[in-house]
Amino acid sequence: MLSERQNAIMEIARSEGRVQVEALSGRFAVSVQTIRKDLNDLCDARLLSRVHGGAVLGAGAENLGYEARSAIAAAEKAAIGAAAADLIPDRSSLFINIGTTTEAVARALLGHSGLMVITNNLNVAHALRASPEIEVIVAGGLIRRADGGIVGEAAVDFIRQFKVDFAVIGASAIDEDGSLLDFDYREVRVAQAIIANARHVVLVADATKFARTAPVRLAQLGQVGTFVTDRCPSEALRDLCGASGVRLVETAA
């Protein structure tokens, strides 16, 4: 049985995707130790998963809604987006796939010139469409109403027509063995085509992805060239990056 405060914490988590100890302490006028105990109880019940400074919705086989995903680690995603955009030179061609962190990269690219961007993400296309310096090409296929992602075999076939300089990809979860995971096998098929048809792959993911899991394998960490995150708390993944020749960029370092 959850207490009234714990139920209220769960409502915040469902709305925003994430809760933070300091903010909850102030909101409920209780000590941070009390909030940490609440979060530990909720994590023991597998309703939440602990991350640095707070907790996120439980790491099960169900994806979060688009609005909740957008709210999680928004500042961290903006920093990741800026760092990833710095890796992309002007007059490059690139893929950008589905994800709220890849959308942050798209927004950070608006100062670039001479880019050709191929995307299966309508939010990315919308973010870039007004720039006279960026040519935007949108994949065809089934539009996923929940988040504007374009998935399915038609999108896969479309992506295979190109060979680009860079791919910017996201993932819903990152396992300790380096598996990049997602929820929709149709989205994964498009992402795999994107990886196969790019000369350099840039993975963008915030630290909350280390605390989650998902049922569909997208790729292995060793298949990317650069991994941009706010911080990597896993020594095993750091070692894997080193062994696989993956450049690790931490924006909070």
Tens of pLDDT, residues 120-178: 999 999 999 999 999 999 999 999 988 899 999 999 999 999 999 999 999 999 999 99
Of 116, 129, 87, 103, give the one whose Cα is nearest residue 251.
87
Proportion of the chain above pLDDT 70, given as a percent = 94
pLDDT at 92: 98
* Per-residue pLDDT tens over the stretch 57-75: 765 544 566 666 676 778 8
Measure the CA–CA gap between 37 and 23, rounded to whole angstroms. Answer: 15
Mind listing the pLDDT tens digit for each residue in 162-212?
999 999 999 999 999 999 999 999 999 999 999 999 999 999 999 888 878
Same domain, 191 and 132: yes
Q: Select the more confidently predicted residue: 147 or 90.
A: 90
Q: What is the CATH number of the domain that holds 47?
A: 1.10.10.10
Rounded to the nearest integer, the mean pLDDT of the chain is: 91
**Apex CA 59: angle with CA 206 and CA 247, to 5°?**
30
Which residue segment(s) compose the domain that 29 sits in? 4-58
Quickly state the pLDDT bin for 13 (edges 50, 70, 90).
confident
**Residue 47 shares a structural domain with residue 142:** no
Q: Which pLDDT belongs to residue 47?
A: 81
Closest by CA to 18, choosing from 208, 234, 184, is 208
Same domain, 54 and 74: no
In a domain? residue 87: yes
One domain, residues 38 and 159:
no
